[in-house]
Amino acid sequence: MEITQQVDAVLAELHRRLKHHPKPIRVLENELGVAEGFFRKQRHSRSVDLGFLFKAFRHMGIDPYELFSTVFGGSIVDRLPIRADVLPGEDETLKFLAEQRREQP
Amino acid sequence: MREKLLRLDDARFDNPRQALQDVKDLIQSGKIQRKDCGLAYGVLGSCFRMNDKLFLSAKAITEGIRCAEKDHHQSVGDLLQRYSVLVSDYGQLQAAINTSMEATAWHLEFNDQLGVAKTLVDRGEFHFYLNEDDRTIRSFTRALKYPLESKSPRHYVAALLGLSVAYSKLRDFPTARSYSARALDVRPRSYGVTALLNWQAGIIAHQEGELETAEAYLIRAFDGRYLTAVNLALVAVELVQVQLLQGNIRGAAKSAQLLAQHFDRLEENPVVEALAAELMRSGLAMRLSLRLVNRVRDKLEKERTRQNRAQSEALARWIKR
């Protein structure tokens, strides 16, 4: 997804959640206004200042990682740009570490 | 265990092959605990990267992120930071910046000031390669506001060197020199970094017309053990040029001959090998000239660009669209 599409997707999810948010609506409107203003601005820039974004989410009582995984699906790994799962090559140490992780409780 | 892994992480800059072997031995000893798995994957991935095994590096770091996301959130920032550098190797600088931003966010989450500073240093480099001079300078300068000097001298020196190179590019040599001098004052433990710092100080002195000073720095920079083949040849060319400008034809010929000591390294790249041989032959015949030196330098720089581009293009097909 392009950055602009990502921002739109996050914004849509944010709106959906805030409809059911327990906080008084006026407070929410202010917070949403701040977040929206931020999103709109970032939409036109080439990158998103995630530090600020995460702070805004936390302020609204929303866990950013949970929100992102809802919007983008699954774990951080699914959003990484390199397709590591299909890359050629194997390594014994990597296999060993994977096995060790499986064995450890 | 964590300290051992971090020590190996530092060692990879001077002896990548040995560091990779050591980290593999450490992991295969079976003593890595679950909480250190993310870091182990990260250090292993970075060691793979330093040994040009970029596919394995991507696999290791990705696996590390998967593991840290489940077991040890505190390592996610560090792993994303390593990943961002890898993405830049794949020629995806904007994606590298975005990943680095996410790493910053994770570091902020855990109030890891050192982690934030490290990501700023990496981002400074990505912006530099994108020719975004203002952002380059801003990233490195912001990084220097954190206590990097005492906690991560490697990143402190990288930020200073980055600023020096950025100001050189803008032809602000006095400012470039001040950052370069601060970096040299640190006396980094890494020979490779010291060679790069001396090279940069030599370039600045050359541009400022201080040829003797430039020569002294470049002689110190000429270290075949720690520079890549193309960089080693570029240092030799700069040194020969500075000596020719001083009318020291014999010294220039001698410097060209020094390349012979590192021919096993230069052989790694046929283009660099041929250009170095041309420089050495001309030195032997006492036929070195500024024209020849400039021509060799242009070709070496083109080769460096070609090498970088070829690597990025070969890797680009593994990038998700």
pLDDT of the residue at B71: 74
* Beta carbon pairs, A and B, within 8 Å: 106
Question: In B, which residues are within 8 Å of A52 by CB distance?
Answer: none
Q: Tell me the one-letter amino acid at A4.
A: T
Task: Check CB contact of B62 with chain A, cutoff 8 Å.
Answer: yes
Q: Kindly tell me the sign of the dihedral angle through the C-alpha atoms of B135, B201, B157, B185.
A: negative
Which of A64, A88, A96 has its CB closest to that of B28? A96
Task: Check CB contact of A78 with chain B, cutoff 8 Å.
Answer: no
Task: Check CB contact of A96 with chain B, cutoff 8 Å.
Answer: yes
| Rounded distance between C-alpha atoms, residue B261 and residue B282, angstroms | 17
Question: In B, which residues are within 8 Å of A85 by CB distance?
Answer: 62
Nearest to B23 by CA among B35, B38, B13, B11: B11
A52-56, B97-101, B119-123: the lowest-pLDDT one: A52-56
| Other beta carbons within 10 Å of B41 | 30
Region B296-308: mean pLDDT is: 87
Which of A51, A91, A100 has its CB closest to that of B56? A91
Question: In B, which residues are within 8 Å of A83 by CB distance?
Answer: 318-320
* pLDDT tens-digit readout, A11-41: 677 667 666 655 544 444 555 555 555 555 5
ipTM associated with this complex: 0.72
Q: Which two tokens stand for residue A33?
A: 């206004």
The B residues from 239 to 298 touching A (CB cutoff 8 Å) are none
